[in-house]
Structure 1
Amino acid sequence: MSEKHPGPLVVEGKLVDAERLKKQSNYLRGTILDDLDDGLTGGFTGDNFLLIRFHGMYQQDDRDIRAERVAQKLEPRHAMMLRCRLPGGIITPTQWLAIDKFATDKTIYGSIRLTNRQTFQFHGILKKNVKPTHQMLHEVGLDALATANDVNRNVLCTSNPVESELHQEAYEWAKKLSEHLLPQTRAYAEIWWDKEKVATTDKEPILGETYLPRKFKTTVVVPPHNDVDLHANDLNFIAIAEQGKLIGFNLLVGGGLSIDHGNKATYARTASEFGFLPVEKILDVAAAVVTTQRDWGNRTDRKNAKTKYTLERVGVETFKAEVEKRAGLTFEPIRPYAFTSRGDRVGWVKGIDEKWHLTLFIENGRLLDYPGRPLKRGIAEIAKIHQGDFRLTANQNLIVAGVPEKQKAQIEAIAREHGLMEAVTPQRENSMACVAFPTCPLAMAEAERFLPSFVTKVEEIMHKHGIGEEHIVLRVTGCPNGCGRALLAELGLVGKAPGRYNLHIGGNREGTRIPRMYRENINEGEILASIDELVARWATERQANEGFGDFVIRTGIIKAVVDPARDFWDSEAV
C-alpha cells in the first residue's frame, strides 16, 4: 500500500454521535436495565438500541411483516439477534445441547445460525427472553460480550482438523487474545448475571473510556488454509511452525471489506505485512495494534474509522513503528508462508492424533429441522454421544472433531439419517451468503434466501460448458457492509436494492485479492447472462488448474485491484 502522502495521526473535527453515546454510557451500562422492565415496547429505545450491541445483540424486526404491522398501527415485531463469543469456534457437546434446547423453546424461528465469524447466532429473541438467554449461556460457560460494535469481536482461528497439536496451540492463543482484548467493565455481569456492582471505578486500559472508533476483528491463521479469510480482518497472526512446533507469528494488519455504495472514500483492502514476532510477544503486539487504532482511528466519520483507513492515512510504516514502540520489540522480516486453500474439507479426515474429524456442510449455516432433513435434531443427537468437541468454521460449517475409530460408524449413521451427509457439489460447497432479509435491518437485497436457487442456476451454466466438476468461489452479501465476504470472492454479489446487485469478479481462490466491480446494479437474469459469457470463455481458454478469478485477470477481462485506496472504484480498469 502507498506511503507517498502520510497524513495526520489524529483526525480533528466534530465527533460522531456514537462517541457521545459511548462516553455517556457509564462503561456500557446506559439505561438497559430500565428498558428491560418497560413492557410498553418490545424493543430497546434511545441510546440503548445501539448500546446493546456491545453486549452481543442487534435489535431487529421481521421485515416481511413490517408493512402489515404498520397498517395495523402496531410497532414492528421487535426481536433480538444474539451472537455468542466463541474464540476459534470450539464448543462442547454439553454446551451445544443447551443452546439447541434454548433455540427450540425460546426463539421465534427455532433455528441456530452458524456464522462466518465462527460462532452461532440466535435469531428472534423477544425482549422478555433476552436476560434468560445471557443467563443460559453463562450457566454453560459462554457469553455474548463484545461480539458487536466498537470492540475486538469474536477471535477466529483456522479449523485445522489434521495437525491437531499445532491447531491446539493456535486455538489457545486465540482464546488468550479474546480474553486479553475484552472490555473490562462489569456492566455485562451486572446487567445479565445479576452480579453486584463493585464500588471501584471501571477502567478500560486497552479499549479506553470510549472504546474503539469502529469494529475490530482478529484472526489466528494456520497455513496453508486461509479458511478464516484473514484479509477481511484488522489484526491477523499467521502461525509459523518448525517441525510441527509453533515458533511465532507473522503479523498482518488492516484488512477490511465493508464499503459504502458510491462513496469513493471507502474501499475494500487486504491486510499489510508488518513482520514476524516470537510467540511470547503476541499479547503485547495485539494490545499495541488495538491501542494505536484506538488513539489514531477516525472518530469524526464512522465510514472512515476502521484500521484500514488509519493505515492509509498515516502510512503503514508510521503505524508499524508505533506498534513496535508500544509493544517493545522490533519486527523481524516476514517468514515464508503460503495459502493453498480456504474452503472446508467436507467429510471425514484423519488427524495425526489418529482421531477422525467429520466436517458437515451446512448451507448458509442455517440449522433447522426441514421436512425430511431434520438437521438441527441430527446435530443434537450427535452431541448426546460425542466425546470430543464441535468446531464451527468460518465457512458456516460444523466439524465433529476428535472421533475415535470405534465411534465413527455410529456418528456417521446419525448424520446420514438426519440429512447431514447428503452429496454436495463443489460449487455449492464454495458458495456463501450473509443473513440479509427478513431480519437484518441493513439488508438492501436478498442473500441467504437467494443463494440456494442461484447456485443451482450457476451449476447449470457450468454443466452447459462442460465443467460441472469445477467451482467458483461465490459469495452474496445483502448490503455493502461485507458480512458475506463477497469482496474476497472470485465472484461476489453485493446487494444494491431488492433484486439488484453489483457484480464483482477477479478475486482468487486463496482469498488474497480483492475483486473489482464488473457490472453495477443488475438483476439476477443479467448476472446469470454475464456468468454464462464469462464461464464459456473460462471453459475454453483457461490454463491448467487456473481458477476463474485468475483467468479473468490474466485475460484482461478485468484488471486486478492493486492499490485499493486509489483504484478500487476505477471504472477505467475494465
Structure 2
Amino acid sequence: MSTDNKNFIVEGKLADNERLKTESNFLRGTIAEDLKDDLTGAFVGDNFQLIRFHGMYQQDDRDIRAERAKQKLEPLQNVMLRARLPGGIITTDQWLAIDKFAEEKSIYGSIRLTTRQTFQFHGVLKPNVKPMHQMLNSVGMDSIATAGDVNRNVLCTSNPVESEVHQEAYEWAKKISEHLLPKTRAYAEIWLDEKKAESTEEPILGSTYLPRKFKTTVVIPPHNDIDVHANDLNFVAIAENGKLIGFNVLVGGGLAMTHGDTATFPRKADDFGFISLEHTLAVAAAVVSTQRDWGNRVNRKNAKTKYTLERVGVENFKAEVEKRSGAVFADSKPYEFTSRGDRIGWVEGIDGKHHLTLFIENGRILDFPGKTLKTGCAEIARIHPGDMRMTANQNLIIAGVPTELKDKIESIAREHGLIADDVSPQRMDSMACVALPTCPLAMAEAERYLPNAVTEIEGLLAKHNLANESIIYRVTGCPNGCGRAMLAEVGLVGKGPGKYNFHLGGDRQGLRIPRMYKENISEQQIMQELDVLIGRWAKERNTDEAFGDFLIRAEVVKPVVDSAKDFHDESQVPA
C-alpha cells in the first residue's frame, strides 16, 4: 500500500467482508469441503460469499419458498453462474455446449443474456456445480471473477461492422480482463482438480482484493452501447484513419444506491484524459490499485470507486494513477456518443460479411409456446461459420455470416420467433434485470413485469399519436442498478411488491442521470403519470425532441448536475 496520502484511507472497524477475504486463503475457504456435504443444497458460512469470486451467487426460488417451508424443507437452494466473456464473443461450439448444459442440468433450462454482456445459468443444483465449471473449461471458458470484490467481466462495444477497429478494441478488452484477474489458483484447484499452488501473490488486487465490485469497459464511439457512466473504469477508443491510437479514460461511474441513505447515489464517470495504447494495462492496474488502497473498507455502502473520487478528489486520484502507472494523461481527444441501442436486424460490415442482431426480450433464451428461441439459436449455431456476440443490451448478434448463408439463417430465425417484424421501437428500447423469483435482493418484479408494462406504454404512445417514437425505459427490482435504470429517460427502481421509485429525465445517449419524480408508487400510478407526461410531450415538444430532454426543458424535473450534491435534493422536482 502506498505510504503517501494516508489521509485518504478510511479508518475504523473494517466491514466483515474484509475479515472473510483475509481468512479465505486467497478465495479457497472451505468450498471444496462444502461440495461434499449432501445434507444441504447450500454453501454455508463464509462460502456463501466466497463462491461469488468464482462467478456464482447462491439463490433459491422465492415463488415456492413458503410452500417448501410448510413442508419443512429448506428453500430450493441453487446457484446462478455468470460466465467470464470479455466483449461478449462466443464461438458456435461454445454456444452449443452451454445450450446442452442449460437444457440438461439447470432447473429453468434457459440461457440468460445479461447487461454485463455475458450469459448466466440459473437454477444449478449443488451436484451439478462442479460439472458446470468443468464443462466451461472443456470449451475454453470460465467464470473467474465475474462477481465479488474484483474487476468483473470487461465489456466492449458490440460493433462487428467496422471490423478492424472493433477487433483491436476487443483484443484490448481481453488483455485488460486477463491483466486484472485474480492470480490465486483457487478456481482451478476447486473446480478443475488442479494441484494446490504452494504460494499466491496478488500484485494488483492485493491479498484482501478490492473494497467492492469493480466494472470496466472498452467503448467505441459513437455507440455508447455499454453505458460508460455505469462503470468504474472506461476506455473510450480513439481511432485515426481506421486505426486505434489510444483511449480516453473515464473513471468513477456507478449506478447503485441504497434506499433511504442519502450518502449513496448514482454518479457519472470523470474524464481523466487520453493515453496512448502502450499505457493501457499500466493505467488499468493503477486505477484498480489506487481504489484498492484508498477505497472505503469500513462502510461497504460507500466502498465503490465513485465514492472514493468524491472523498479524495478527482485530481488527487488522477495524480496517483499517473504516479503508479508512469503515464501522464493528455487532453482528451474529441468524441461523441449518438446512440446506445443495438441495431436490430441485418447490417453489412466493411469486410462484406453480414451481421444479424436478434432482439431477445429480457435476454431470456428459452423455448416459449410458439416462440422457440433456444432451439432456434442452437440450429443457427450448428450451421454458422462465424461467431455469436452478446450485447450489453441483452441481445444476440450472429456475426460474420457469409452471403450464401444469409437467407438460410434468416429463415431459421424467423421460424423460431427470433425475428419478428412487429417489435416496436419502444420494446427494443426497454430493459429489466432478472429480479424475482431468483434474485435474493429483489424488492419488486422487473423481468416478469417488463413485457406487459411495455405493452401499456406502447398503448400510451399510440393514444398520443407517437406510435413510432420510443422512450428509454428500464426497470430494476432493487437499487443495485443491474437494469441500469439510473441512465434511462424513465427508470423504475423496486421498493416493494408492485411499488417503485419513479425516476425521470435521463437522455437517449446515456449521459444524464434521471431524478426521482415520485417515491414508492404503484404500477397503475406510474402509467397514469406517464399518460399525462406523454400527452404533454406530444403537444409541447420541439422538433425531434426526446422524452427525457423535453422533461428537463419543461422543468418537470431539473437535471442532475452533481450527484453528490443534488441527486437527493427534493427542491429539484417542481411542485
- Shared fold, TM over 0.5: yes
**Structure 1 segment 29-428 matched on structure 2, within 5 A:** 29-199=28-198, 201-423=199-421, 424-428=423-427
Cα deviation per residue 1:81-132 (whole Å; 9 max; x = unaligned)?
A: 0000000000000000000000000000000000010000000000000000
Cα deviation per residue 1:499-531 (whole Å; 9 max; x = unaligned)?
A: 000000000000011000001000011000110
SS at match of 2:51: helix
Cα deviation per residue 1:523-549 (whole Å; 9 max; x = unaligned)?
A: 011000110011001111111111111
Q: CA deviation at 1:198?
A: 2.3
* Counterparts of 1:7 and 1:442, CA distance in 2: 35
TM-score, normalised to structure 1's length? 0.98
Q: Which residue of 2 aligns with 1:3?
A: none
Q: Is the contact between residue 81 and residue 122 of structure 1 (CA under 8 Å) also seen in structure 2?
A: yes
**Taking structure 1 as reference, are residues 7 and 262 closer, same or farther at Cα in structure 2, changes over 3 Å only?**
farther
Q: CA deviation at 1:70?
A: 1.0
**1:226 is aligned with what amino acid?**
N
* Counterparts of 1:352 and 1:543, CA distance in 2: 36
* Counterparts of 2:241 and 2:550, CA distance in 1: 36
Q: Which residue of 1 aligns with 2:512?
A: 513
**1:102 is aligned with what amino acid?**
F
Q: CA deviation at 1:72?
A: 1.2
Q: CA deviation at 1:7?
A: 11
**Structure 1 segment 406-485 matched on structure 2, within 5 A:** 406-423=404-421, 424-485=423-484
Cα deviation per residue 1:449-476 (whole Å; 9 max; x = unaligned)?
A: 0000000000000000000100000000
Cα deviation per residue 1:479-518 (whole Å; 9 max; x = unaligned)?
A: 0000000000000000000000000000000001100000
* Counterparts of 1:207 and 1:186, CA distance in 2: 14
* Counterparts of 2:36 and 2:14, CA distance in 1: 32
* Counterparts of 2:568 and 2:529, CA distance in 1: 20
* Counterparts of 1:459 and 1:417, CA distance in 2: 25
* Counterparts of 1:553 and 1:304, CA distance in 2: 29
TM-score, normalised to structure 2's length? 0.98
* Counterparts of 1:216 and 1:177, CA distance in 2: 13
* Counterparts of 1:114 and 1:367, CA distance in 2: 8
**2:114 is aligned with what amino acid?**
T
* Counterparts of 2:347 and 2:246, CA distance in 1: 27
SS at match of 1:402: strand
* Counterparts of 1:376 and 1:309, CA distance in 2: 41
* Counterparts of 1:416 and 1:369, CA distance in 2: 14
Cα deviation per residue 1:123-150 (whole Å; 9 max; x = unaligned)?
A: 0000000000000000000000000010
* Counterparts of 1:302 and 1:411, CA distance in 2: 48
Cα deviation per residue 1:221-253 (whole Å; 9 max; x = unaligned)?
A: 000000000100000000000111100000000
* Counterparts of 1:363 and 1:436, CA distance in 2: 15
**1:135 is aligned with what amino acid?**
Q
**2:290 is aligned with what amino acid?**
T
* Counterparts of 1:363 and 1:558, CA distance in 2: 30
SS at match of 2:173: helix
* Counterparts of 1:476 and 1:136, CA distance in 2: 33
SS at match of 1:513: coil
Gaps spanning 5+ residues in structure 2: where? none
Q: CA deviation at 1:8?
A: 3.6
Moved more, 438-447 or 546-555: 546-555
Cα deviation per residue 1:263-315 (whole Å; 9 max; x = unaligned)?
A: 00000000000000001110000000000000000000000000000000000
Cα deviation per residue 1:324-371 (whole Å; 9 max; x = unaligned)?
A: 000101100011010000000000000101100000000000000001
* Counterparts of 1:21 and 1:318, CA distance in 2: 30
**1:254 is aligned with what amino acid?**
G
* Counterparts of 1:440 and 1:329, CA distance in 2: 41
**2:112 is aligned with what amino acid?**
R
* Counterparts of 1:170 and 1:373, CA distance in 2: 35
Q: Is the contact between residue 7 and residue 315 of structure 1 (CA under 8 Å) also seen in structure 2?
A: no
Gaps spanning 5+ residues in structure 1: where? 1-5
* Counterparts of 2:300 and 2:426, CA distance in 1: 36
Moved more, 161-170 or 439-448: 161-170
* Counterparts of 1:91 and 1:31, CA distance in 2: 32
**1:441 is aligned with what amino acid?**
P
Cα deviation per residue 1:176-202 (whole Å; 9 max; x = unaligned)?
A: 000000000000000000001122x10
* Counterparts of 1:506 and 1:70, CA distance in 2: 43
Q: Which residue of 2 aligns with 1:563?
A: 562
**2:501 is aligned with what amino acid?**
N
* Counterparts of 1:92 and 1:481, CA distance in 2: 31
* Counterparts of 1:435 and 1:486, CA distance in 2: 13
CA RMSD of aligned residues (A): 0.8
**1:43 is aligned with what amino acid?**
A
SS at match of 2:8: coil
Q: CA deviation at 1:439?
A: 0.2
Q: Which residue of 2 aligns with 1:23?
A: 22
**Taking structure 1 as reference, are residues 525 and 412 closer, same or farther at Cα in structure 2, changes over 3 Å only?**
same
* Counterparts of 1:331 and 1:108, CA distance in 2: 49
Q: Is the contact between residue 8 and residue 313 of structure 1 (CA under 8 Å) also seen in structure 2?
A: no
**1:467 is aligned with what amino acid?**
L
Aligned pairs, number:
568
Q: Is the contact between residue 92 and residue 390 of structure 1 (CA under 8 Å) also seen in structure 2?
A: yes
SS at match of 2:263: coil
Q: CA deviation at 1:71?
A: 1.3
**2:329 is aligned with what amino acid?**
F
SS at match of 1:69: helix
SS at match of 1:220: strand
**1:10 is aligned with what amino acid?**
I
* Counterparts of 1:286 and 1:183, CA distance in 2: 14
**1:231 is aligned with what amino acid?**
H
Q: Is the contact between residue 445 and residue 497 of structure 1 (CA under 8 Å) also seen in structure 2?
A: yes
* Counterparts of 1:124 and 1:278, CA distance in 2: 44
* Counterparts of 1:147 and 1:116, CA distance in 2: 13
* Counterparts of 1:231 and 1:285, CA distance in 2: 18
Q: CA deviation at 1:161?
A: 2.2
